[in-house]
Structure 1
Amino acid sequence: MRVTQSMLSNNMLRHLSGSYSKMGKIQEQLMTGKKINRPSDDPVVAMKGIAYRTNLDKVQQFQRNMGEVHNWLDTTDETLNQVTSAMHRVSELLVQASTDTLTPNDREKIAVEMEQIQKQIVDFANTKLGDKYLFSGTNTLQPLFTGYPTTGNLNVNPNANSNKVEIEVFNGITLDVNVDGKTFFANSTNGVVAKLGEIVGTLKDPAKSGADLTGYLSDIETQMDNLLLLRAEIGAKQNRAEMMEYRLDSQEITATKLMSENEDADIEKIITELTTQESLHRAALSVGARIIQPSLIDFLR
């Protein structure tokens, strides 16, 4: 078979085009730092990459959920801490008012301060985090109290409940982030707001003595014990949230490592391949230039 000049030219151009294409692919890997830049480069690596990236996205979403968990628990703990301070002041006022040396006018002044503390505790019970109320159970869009207590009416929101507010923090794992605020704050007989209302009524009644007020000290101690239980519950949930956050951090590291091993290019290897390919390409150009002599005499041979 006769090998013509056009056959030599076409073969050289085809091989040079393939060499350019291979160099272009290697340079693209070097610039992007990725083994593949489109699914057609390696479908298996592409499919694994999708799975690893999906897993990483889920872990990162759970980490964002953990941020919401910490915000909820920290805000609740700070609110209960302020309620604790208010209850200490209530106890001090009760001790002061239980002595019979005080006049009805003196007790009236104490009652005024006690009423303000009651209203402040109602405000604490209606604490919001963003647009969500912390102590209304799962009815987070409405406050626990619809207003300040009046005679014979605590103004408790009928839609408030004691249900758990749960946030998903891992596959099939949820954390409840609230406490039973309705029972502590809004119970009509043993709730702290109702009990403060009783104390205020006793303080304003001239017929009541210091002994009547002394009886409320044990009630306030009971409220303080209930408050400590709520704070202990929040503390336990915070500890669990921290352990879950550590687990998520470990999962993120693992997922990132798997994705990197699957997708990231070995830069040292890529540079070596590029150098080798450039040398081969130069050699091909040099040999091609010798084989194909662009003169009319050579074409006529």
Structure 2
Amino acid sequence: MRVTQSMLAGNSLSNLSKSYSNMGKYQDQLATGKKINRPSDDPVVAIKGMFYRTNLTEVEQYKRNLSEAYTWMENSEDGVAHASDVLHRVRELVVKGNNGSNSPEDLKAIGAEIAQLKEDLAGVANTQVAGNYIFNGTQTKTKPVTIDANGVVDTSAMTSTAYNIEVSKGVQLRVNANPANVFSPELFDTLQKLEAGLLDGKGSLEDGDELLGKLDKHIDTILSERSEMGARYNRLELIDSRLGNQEVIASRILSDNEDADIEKVITDLTIQESIHRASLAVGAKIIQPSLVDFLR
């Protein structure tokens, strides 16, 4: 086969173009720190990267969900703890008012304090976090407890449905307290009867022992709810720890799949530059002077 000058020139230019392309690839890797910059560079790495990035995005979203779950549970637990403290104070007052040694004025003072504690409980039941009522189930925009001018508490708007947050793939965790166990209508009815019995001016608390027994049951119910919330909070912390580990693993796998080995890229780029210079030098020698050069 006859080899012409144009064939030598064409092959030389083609090889130089490939050399430029290789240099460009290594320069892109060095600039971006990634093995590939478009799917066509390596379809397998691109597909795996999409899958790994989806996993990492899911973990990051669940961690954001955890932040909301912590907010709900910590505020709910604080409200339940406060309600427990209030009822213990009410119990102290009932025991004091039920010993038969109090004057009518003393009983009225105790009744007035219980009335204030009742209103305080109603205020706790209406606790809002980021504009949401946390003690009204999924009806977070509805006020669960109202008090009229006579001090009568209305809990008809209260719901006990679970407010769940997805904290892991396929895992829904209840993050609110059950208001029926903390701010039940029976509780406010008991407080109302205690208040009325102490403020009637008779100098004694009728049905004091019976009301005290009901109060103890309410306290036990609240303590049980607080214990159940503590168990859910412990589970939330375990899920948080596991998600943290998953985030580290997912980030490492994604890095192994996509991130370029900078030391290797620099070495390859240096080698390719040397090859390119050699190609230019050899090409200059291969392309011999033409007849035109002799006619000048």
Please give the TM-score of this superposition, normalised by the length of structure 1: 0.90
Residue equivalent to 1:156 = 155
Q: Tell whether the 8 Å contact from 1:143 to 1:157 is kept in structure 2 after alignment.
A: no
Kindly state the Cα deviation for residue 220 of structure 1 after the two structures are TM-superposed: 2.5
Establish whether residue 184 from structure 1 lines up as the match of residue 192 from structure 2: no
The one-character-per-residue Cα deviations of 1:142-171 (angstroms, maximum 9, x if unpaired) are 1211x215659532243x322211111222
Moved more, 48-57 or 131-140: 131-140
Residue equivalent to 1:49 = 49
Matching of residues 1-301 of structure 1 within 5 Å:
1-145=1-145, 147-148=146-147, 153-158=152-157, 160-187=158-185, 190-191=186-187, 193-207=188-202, 209-210=204-205, 212-292=207-287, 298=293
Distance 2:144 2:181 in 1: 11
Structure 2: runs of 5 or more not aligned: none
Distance 1:238 1:184 in 2: 18
Distance 2:115 2:151 in 1: 15
Q: Tell whether the 8 Å contact from 1:94 to 1:217 is kept in structure 2 after alignment.
A: yes
Q: SS of 1:136's equivalent? A: coil
Kindly state the Cα deviation for residue 262 of structure 1 after the two structures are TM-superposed: 1.4
Kindly state the Cα deviation for residue 229 of structure 1 after the two structures are TM-superposed: 0.7
C-alpha spacing 1:299/1:272, structure 2 compared with 1 (3 Å): farther
Structure 1: runs of 5 or more not aligned: none
Q: SS of 1:111's equivalent? A: helix
Distance 1:124 1:255 in 2: 42
Kindly state the Cα deviation for residue 183 of structure 1 after the two structures are TM-superposed: 4.2
Q: Which amino acid aligns with 1:42?
A: D
Distance 2:18 2:167 in 1: 51
Distance 1:216 1:130 in 2: 37
Kindly state the Cα deviation for residue 29 of structure 1 after the two structures are TM-superposed: 0.8
Distance 2:191 2:75 in 1: 24
Q: Which amino acid aligns with 2:287?
A: I
Please give the TM-score of this superposition, normalised by the length of structure 2: 0.91
Q: Tell whether the 8 Å contact from 2:177 to 2:229 is kept in structure 1 after alignment.
A: yes
C-alpha spacing 1:170/1:69, structure 2 compared with 1 (3 Å): same
Q: Which amino acid aligns with 2:153?
A: L
Q: SS of 1:168's equivalent? A: strand
Distance 1:122 1:72 in 2: 19
Q: SS of 1:265's equivalent? A: coil
Q: Which amino acid aligns with 2:177?
A: V
The one-character-per-residue Cα deviations of 1:185-228 (angstroms, maximum 9, x if unpaired) are 132xx32x221111100001223525643543333222221111
Q: Tell whether the 8 Å contact from 1:66 to 1:245 is kept in structure 2 after alignment.
A: yes
Q: Tell whether the 8 Å contact from 1:36 to 1:263 is kept in structure 2 after alignment.
A: yes
Q: CA RMSD in A?
A: 2.3
Aligned length: 296
Q: Which amino acid aligns with 1:76?
A: S
Q: Tell whether the 8 Å contact from 1:136 to 1:143 is kept in structure 2 after alignment.
A: yes
Q: Tell whether the 8 Å contact from 2:164 to 2:175 is kept in structure 1 after alignment.
A: yes
